[in-house]
Structures are given as structure tokens and as C-alpha cells.
Amino acid sequence: MAIDVSKIIHAVMEGSKIRESKGIIPLFGVYLSLFSVYYYNRLSFDFEIKMGPQREAEAKALLIEAAQECGYATFHGIRDSWEWEQVVTPMVESKEDQILGFVAVAVAFGWGDLAIVGLDPGEKLVMHASDSYEARGYLEQYGLATSEKCYMLRGVAAAFMDLVYGADYPDGCFTFAAQEPRCRAKGDSYCEFVARRSSG
């Protein structure tokens, strides 16, 4: 059976109606919350700006690393959950299907209109987003960028590969590293994330 993306999105949307008293959404084995994209983008991009031009590369690396670790732990929890077992596992026939499942959950979480355009098993993932909230937010708040800006999705793309082709959790994080050769924030028509095995 192929992965039914709409079924996964529907399960997340239904499940996310349940809130704890503090607004926390316990879903797919992890704790989620509604979060302002504007606020998240300000934290992220202002951190980069405050670090200054000399430490820009360091700031960018930290943001991507944080996203990758977060994506790795979060999607490990999701894959281990009761909901995943009930909804997604029956549709998974291969390792690659797991990545399709991850992407469907990420889309349902509102992380972007992600689409897998290339997957070389064990080696390379190519993912596109035509409306990344980071790119849109950057353009709205700071204007056209001189470099790519979607640090969250970049880390997450590599985390998906880490979970499927890296060593067992928790040792597989950073087996892969992702680049973003195209980004709407710098004027491209879509964002492109390419995850490959880390060289280091």
C-alpha cells in the first residue's frame, strides 16, 4: 500500500483538537503547541543578526544544528507512538515510505508545503517547499536575503534521513547534513533542501 498522505494529515488534524489545560497538544507520542511563526522567525533571525557579520556562519550552523536535533528527537518519538503504529505503519512497505510518512506529519504540523522530489535510498534526499514560513517571514520582515534562510527545514530534512538510514536512536543524529541551494528568501521561486551523508 502506498502512503496515503491525506489520511495522515487527517489523523493529525483530528488529534490536535485535544488540548491539555495549558494548551499543550499531546499527539503522536510528543508534546506540541501552537506557536507564532512571527515570534519564532524573530528569535531565529534576530539571533543571527545580533551575532554580527563575523559570526554569521556560526549562528547559522547553531540554528540548523538545533533544528536537526529537534527534528531527530521529535520524529523518533512520533515513529515510536501508538498513533504512528495505528495510522502509518500499515501503509509502510519500505524504509523510504517512512520518510513519506514523516513529511506528511510535518505538513500537517504546518511546517510547510513539503514535497519529496528525489530520494536516493541511504544517500540523498531532495525536498521542495514553495511556501516555507521562514522564507516568507524573512521576506516580510527583512526584505530580500543574500543567502538561504530556512534553517529549521534544512535541519529537519537531514534529521529524516538520520532516522531512517543512520545508526539506531540516539546515535544516528548528524549522519546526514543538508544544504539549501535554492531559497525563496533570496529570490528563488521555491526552497530546495538536499540532505547527503555528512563528510565529517
In this structure, the dihedral spanned by the alpha carbons of residues 164, 167, 169 and 175, taken in order and rounded to 10 degrees, is -80
Q: What's the grid cell of residue 115?
A: 514535497
Residues 119-138 that bind Zn ion (CB under 5 A): 132, 135
Q: Which is nearer to Zn ion, 14 or 46 (CB)?
A: 46
Q: Distance between terminal CA atoms of the chain?
A: 37
Tell whether residue 177 is a contact of Zn ion (CB under 5 A): no
Angle ∠(42,45,51) on CA atoms, nearest 5: 125
Q: Annotate each residue in 134-173 with x if it binds Zn ion (CB under 5 A) or - if it does not, as one string.
A: -x--------------x-----------------------
Q: Tell me the per-residue interface mask from 30 to 59 with Zn ion, x by CB under 5 A, - otherwise.
A: ------------------------------
Candidate residues 183, 192, 193, 194; the one interacting with Zn ion per rule CB under 5 A: 183
The 3-state secondary structure of 9-33 reads HHHHHHHCCCCCCCCCEEECCEEEC
Q: Which residues bind Zn ion (CB under 5 A)?
A: 132, 135, 150, 183, 191
